[in-house]
Structure formats: C-alpha cells, structure tokens
Amino acid sequence: MIVAENLGKEFRDKKRGVIHAVRKLSFRCAPGSVYGLLGANGAGKTTALRMLATILTPTSGSASIAGFDIRRQPEKARQSLGFLSTATALYGRLTALEIVEYFGCLYGLDRPTARRRALSLFDRLGATAFLDRRCETLSTGMKQRVSIARMLVHDPPVMIFDEPTSGLDVIAARTIVAFIRECRDNGKTVVFSTHVMSEAEKLCDTIGIIHDGELLTEGSLQDLRVRFGHADLEEIFMRVVLA
C-alpha cells in the first residue's frame, strides 16, 4: 500500500523565492488498484512521485511504501517499489538483457534468478527480439520496455509510473498500458501519473486531479462523473482546475 499524508515540497529560487511545488498532498492506494494523478505539465505530479520514490526529501508531511516510512526507512521503501519516469536512463553500452540482470543483482538476486526473471519480463513485454541488442541502438519504445523490465526484476509490491507513455507511438503505448493493467490484476499497488485523459479512463480505479501542487479532488471515474455532471473526463478536469 501507498499512504501519503500532507506531503509538501518547497524549492528556493534566487529570483522567485520559495516555490511550492507540492502542497499538503494526501491519498492512499491499496494493493490491486491503480491510483491516477491527473494534471497538466508542471502541476506537481513528478515532484510528488519522486518524493514517494525517496528521490526527493519532503519539506513537510509523511508517506509510507508497503509499510515503510520514506523518511525513516528509505532503503526498505526503495526495495519495495519500482519507479519509472520519462527521465529514466539506460547504460547505452550494455544489452537490454545485461542491464536488467545487473539491476536484479543490485537488488540482491543471484545471477541465475535475475536472468530467469529478466527473460520472463521480456517475454511478457514483447521484447525478446531485442534483448541482446545494446541499449544505445534501441528505439524510444524499446527503451521504455527495458526500463519497465528493470523496475520489475525484483518483483516489487508497489510500482510508480510517471507518464510512462510520453513520446511513444500508439503500439508501444498500448503495450505499456496493457502491462500496467496486468500488474494491477496481479495485486500490485500502482500509482500512475499522466495528462492523457484516455489513459486515465482505461487504467485508474481512483483519479486524483492535481493543479499547482494541490490535490483538488479525487474519486472513481463514475464518482467524478456524478459529482460534476459530465461524462467526459477532459471536461471534468477543466471544470476542476478552472473553478
């Protein structure tokens, strides 16, 4: 499970002073469900998810990943999650299989287990055709599949996806969306950020709309449709952020 309580993050800029990137963010995501953070670019989605992934230290508030406090037990929290963002990089000179094996070993797996899990993930992601190619030769969609295999090789109970389909073609994006749905169906706890309304409609059990660092509203798609009197999620989003 993921639990966030009043998470906040401030940055200081010499010209603009204090920037409140995230303010008092609270939500919960249970196993076997997808919580979607829906917001425009710059809304605070990435900052929020990087705090949950222990990449950034919160200025205020608290959160836990699979029961581990992100401040007091960051290493255990990291061992319990997989994190993927558009900024996730790969080592260009390693093959796809080598990099996933390598990260499996970093998570404490023995090499045979790391290889077995890597091969299984490549098969599930439709990536076996390029597992022996160097990462520097792969397309954006191929790299994203390798990155997902890398984040899942240690079989974490919690997964965080930060706009995972950004920049991908339709076929690659559909593969990623189907895989996130499969992870949910297998009992994983998934937090998923996007600004693509159709992805939120397809994937999310609960949708939270974030704007200027604040969570303005949340609920199931059906709840939001009833509350705001409109079936179209894009229209609901606009009504929320412009209110």
3-state secondary structure 53-113: CCCCCCCEEEEEECCEECCCCHHHHHHCEEEEECCCCCCCCCEHHHHHHHHHHHCCCCHHH
Mean per-residue pLDDT over the chain, rounded: 91
User: Looking at residue 40, what is its pLDDT?
Assistant: 87
Helix axes 233-241, 221-228, angle to 10 degrees: 60
The CATH H-level (homologous superfamily) assignment of domain 1-80+158-243 is: P-loop containing nucleotide triphosphate hydrolases (3.40.50.300)
Structure tokens belonging to residue 167: 């920049």
Structure tokens belonging to residue 221: 């798609």
The full DSSP string for the chain is: -EEEEEEEEEEEETTTEEEEEEEEEEEEE-TTEEEEEE--TTSSHHHHHHHHTTSS--SEEEEEETTEETTT-HHHHHHTEEEEETT----TTSBHHHHHHHHHHHTT--HHHHHHHHHHHHHHTT-GGGTTSBGGGS-HHHHHHHHHHHHHTT--SEEEEESTTTT--HHHHHHHHHHHHHHHHTT-EEEEEES-HHHHHHH-SEEEEEETTEEEEEE-HHHHHHHHT-S-HHHHHHHHHT-
Residues of the chain with pLDDT under 70: 87-88
**Where in the sequence of the chain do the CATH 3.40.50.300 domains occur?**
1-80+158-243
User: Looking at residue 87, what is its pLDDT?
Assistant: 67
Tell me the pLDDT tens digit for each residue of 24-69: 999 999 999 999 999 988 889 999 999 999 999 999 999 999 999 9
User: Looking at residue 144, what is its pLDDT?
Assistant: 86
Torsion, Cα 80 82 88 94, to 10 degrees, reads: 90
User: Looking at residue 23, what is its pLDDT?
Assistant: 95
